[in-house]
Amino acid sequence: MNCAFCREKIRITDRVGRKDTCPNCGRDLRCCKQCQFYDSHAYNECREVSAERIVDKERANFCEYFIPRGSHRGKLDRTKEAKRALEALFKK
């Protein structure tokens, strides 16, 4: 992922914890501006409609929908979950 603040590339190998910071600029990694769902033009600046409102987008938070910006992992997991839910719903 690239840091939203300093634009330097950061190698992420594990989950991003609330206390993790960018090794280059020291800013929080687990914050809204570092998340794939962050969108300054969306309602509450977040495309995840189920997420709770977070006022300070540049500080670490406990959002359960956080996915590091640039990660493909979250998109694939959500697609698989949606397919499983639909199959379970229409299963005879």
Q: Tell which phi-psi region holds residue 31, choosing left (phi > 0), alpha (psi between -120 and 50) or beta.
A: beta
63-87 pLDDT, tens digit each = 999 999 887 655 556 677 778 888 8
Residue 68 has phi, psi (to 5 degrees) of -55, 135
Amino acid at 8: E
- Decide if 10 contacts 22 (C-beta within 8 A): yes
Tell me the pLDDT tens digit for each residue of 38-59.
999 999 999 999 999 999 999 9
Output the pTM of the full model: 0.72
pLDDT at position 28: 97
Q: What's the pLDDT score for residue 13? A: 83
What pLDDT does 76 receive?
Answer: 52
CB atoms under 10 Å from CB of 66, counted, come to: 25
